[in-house]
Amino acid sequence: MLLSSLAWSSSILVMGDSLSAAYGMSPQDGWVQLLDKRIQQQGYQYQIVNASISGETTHGGLARLPQALELHQPELVIVELGANDGLRGAPLLLIERNLIALIQQSRNAGARVVLLEMQIPPNYGPKYSDGFTALFSKVARQEEVPLVPFFMAPVVLQQELMQSDGLHPNEQAQPVLLDQIWKTLQPLLQTQNESG
């Protein structure tokens, strides 16, 4: 688990799967570690907690969330889950309900939430894959949380930025992933610092 070594005013909890757990590479090369470095370099005082696990689903994240919220009392929760649900063909309504529950539990614990949009290959047909992608924007609108558009979009079709499995980004892709997330996350950090 990644913890910033500097003093902090609050924490950011990342609940994700292999895309946030630095699958296939050293943890310090992953986008979450790069986020920690960027936050320190830019003078924000946050503790970064990476609670991501390769293979995690929305159901698994939901089971682990209460303890993580109690332990770390985050100011912000970044939810990067759902891809493994989709790859397993889980019912879309179940994924949607789990995402809503993740957001509502985080909010009830006093945290703001940033939701990351996920996409999956069309293995189960366009109706399922399109419906899967659409549920993220639906949940974000309903729950009024910021949505990061599919953060893998700039790298997923670039072979040189992907690992040999074609599913996971490599080390070179991680700064690109962070930049995609930073566009949505950074204004929230400004708001927090200015108000605190």
Active site residues: 18, 165, 168
* 3-class secondary structure, 92: helix
Q: What is the DSSP letter of 50?
A: E
CA 1, CA 21: separation in Å to the nearest integer?
Answer: 10
Q: What is the DSSP letter of 25?
A: S
Cα–chain-centroid distance for residue 37? 17
Q: Classify burial at 95, counting beta carbons within 10 Å of its beta carbon; exposed 0-12, middle 13-18, buried 19 or more.
A: buried
φ and ψ at 80, to 5 degrees?
Answer: -125, 75
Look at strands 112-116 and 46-50 and give their pairing: unpaired
Question: Rounded to whole angstroms, what are the CA distances from 48 to 2, 8, 17?
Answer: 6, 9, 16
At which residue do the structure tokens 């992608």 appear?
Answer: 133
Q: What is the DSSP letter of 162?
A: B
Here the tokens at position 116 are: 């990351």
* Contacts of 166 by beta carbon, 8 Å cutoff, 6+ apart: none
